[in-house]
Chain A
Amino acid sequence: MKKRKPSYIRKEYIWAYLFVAAPVLGFLIFGVAPLLYSAWLSFTSWDLVTPPEFVGFENYVEVFHDEKVYKSLYNTVFMMLGIPIGMVVALLLAIMMNRPLKGISYLRTIYYLPVISPIIAVSLLWQWILNQDFGLLNQTMWSWFGIEGPNWLGDASWIKPSMILMGVWGGVGGTMVLYLAGLQSISSTYYEAAEVDGANAFQKLWLITIPLLTNIHFFVIVMGVIGAFQSFSQIYVLAGDGGPEYSAATVVFYIFENAFKYFNMGYASAVAWVLGVIIFIVTLIQFRLSKKWVYND
């Protein structure tokens, strides 16, 4: 015979469900429902004006033959080069910042400032700095080193490096803070033991610091890759048409153009699903691989 739960426990259940009701509803309304709707849309052709028409796998077939999909995917992945660059710079900064220096909190704030600044403002500021003729960067290179700078945003081969440069400048402070927290959790006994064994500074970095921060490396990479796959705003400002030869367009930019400029809702949904699946698979692979290299205490 099944015993009924005492009434005060049942009452508590009801309260608990009431407390989690809002996020669960939000999850259904703004998560699950759009997901299903989007899946259906991806099998239709729809311009928002005439009624949607079911086209089967046509959109997906087109995605795989669409040069712009490959191009924007390539651009997106290329710009991920900023992730390792940012990690190296952030780690070095964090190691230096981990010393008891005077005024260190001011320095930290300065490096963190770009992280909190609106990406639109940051993009506009870089648009001015990267201006070919009058931008600060080319002006400085010319007057200090006599180097004639490239047309950063107007040249198909320079626009991606420009984006990476801006991304590293903008993101390094955030990564640095993560590393700083990680460094502070490493017990000093490891370093003391290494010193007894006569390890030099480089060996301590390579054999203790870097390996003991693997959970942070992992977090930074996973979040960085997901973030890069979704980057949009800076492209919208700095390369409103996708850049010269479409060389700055990211996948999300391409989805946005299809959906809200050309009103190809069905096709845009199909591209979005392909992107979603790619992000999912890449993240899954990273978690699988992480078992081989991430330490967890």
Chain B
Amino acid sequence: MLQKRMTNLWVALILCIGSVVMLAPFVWTISTSLKDQRNVFEIPPKWIPDPATFKNYVTAWNDSPLLSGFMNSMIIVVFVLVIGIFVSTMAAYAFAKIDFPFKDAIFLSLLGTMMIPFSVVMIPQFIGFSRINWTDTLLPLIVPGLFGNIVVIFFLRQYLAGGLPNELVEAAKLDGSGFFRTFWTIALPVAKPAIAAQAALSFMGIWNDFMGPLIYLSSPQKQTIQVLIASMQSQYMGSSNYPVILAASIISMIPVILVFFFCQRYFIESMAISGLKG
């Protein structure tokens, strides 16, 4: 027993040291973002800024259309999450609970899209969207997401196949519930926790996406927060103004960190489940 407690003590110690390593870059970033530019290059480095100032956050916010970047990212997230996940749940329900001709073939071809690297389709997609003059709008980032996402469909299908008893669906049918009503009143509530998990994951994916927005959006007012931050880099790094650029990147992290803290349970669960079953 004593030996076991000693081991636990060592393990806790190692994990704590590790967590310091994991946190140090974040803490250092926050510290730098609160420094006056003159004090940034102090040697040896000071962890606690003296004097501390929020000036860099104000500069970052005012010098660049960060607010519109926030709004643009938010618009994409809301549309894709609400409509895309609803559409995915509908498809997942059909794949999980109804037998219809060519079901497996359709499902497998959808799964096949996961094999296509984005780099292969991004050029034709870009050309297609620019033909219909959708470049420099949010549409190329929203519209494809409205058709559902195969990873979400796959996850929800697995969930419904196991979590929604066939008897329940049959009973609803016998009671005269129509197809859509059965889906709405029985499948949807059952799938709620899985939907929440996928929504949390999708939020991250969309908020953090960079390459898509980078390709499509050129004018600063139309850009998402990630593209804005990346383009601020050239503006401020040239003058070695690290505090402002780091303040901006912290601003961009706030939404994901908030979502993470509120949906933590869903996150780690769905990461583990989709990982194991994927």
Contacts and interface: CB of A to CB of B under 8 A. Distances in A.
Contact of A260 (B100, B110, B115, B215): B215
A286 interface: no
A120 interface: yes
A120 B252 contact: yes
Contacts of A215: 276
B40 A134 contact: yes
A37 B15 contact: no
A31 interface: yes
A159 interface: no
A229 B128 CA distance: 25
Given A93-B15, A99-B11, A118-B256, A111 B22 contact: yes
Contacts of A152: none
Contact of B24 (A26, A108, A136, A216): A136
A75 interface: no
Interface stretch (A62-70, A77-85, A125-133): A125-133
A96 B12 CA distance: 8
A117 B256 contact: yes
B145 to A, nearest CB: 9
Interface in B102-131: 103, 106, 109-110, 113, 115-128
Contact of B121 (A34, A102, A128, A237): A34
Contacts of A110: 19, 22-23
B249 A34 contact: no
B95 interface: yes
Contact of B272 (A13, A180, A259): A180
A276 interface: yes
Interface in A83-134: 93, 96-97, 99, 101-102, 107-114, 116-121, 124-129, 133-134
B128 A37 contact: yes
A27 B229 contact: no
B226 to A, nearest CB: 5
Contacts of A55: none
Interface string A209-232: 000000110010001001001101
Contacts, number: 257
Given A101-B8, A219-B278, A265 B123 contact: yes
Contacts of B162: none
Nearest to B228: A120
Give the interface SS of chain B, mostly helix, strand, loop or mixed: helix
Contacts of A199: none
A59 to B, nearest CB: 12
B86 to A, nearest CB: 10
A111 B18 contact: yes
B144 A107 contact: no
A20 B94 contact: yes
Nearest to A143: B44
B275 A26 contact: no
Interface string A21-37: 01111110111011101
Interface in B73-91: 87-88, 90-91
Given A101-B11, A118-B253, A276-B119, A233 B41 contact: no
B257 A116 contact: yes
Contacts of B115: 280, 283
A218 B208 CA distance: 26
B208 to A, nearest CB: 4
A20 B106 contact: yes
B253 A229 contact: no
Contacts of B123: 38, 41, 255, 259, 265, 268-269, 272
B204 interface: yes
Contacts of A143: 44
B168 interface: no
Given A20-B94, A120-B252, A128-B29, A237 B233 contact: yes
A272 B11 CA distance: 46
7 contacts: A12-B179, A20-B90, A20-B106, A23-B153, A116-B208, A139-B45, A272-B119
Given A29-B147, A30-B144, 17 more contacts: A20-B94, A23-B88, A99-B11, A101-B15, A111-B19, A117-B253, A117-B256, A125-B249, A129-B25, A133-B41, A177-B271, A177-B272, A178-B275, A219-B278, A230-B118, A260-B126, A268-B123
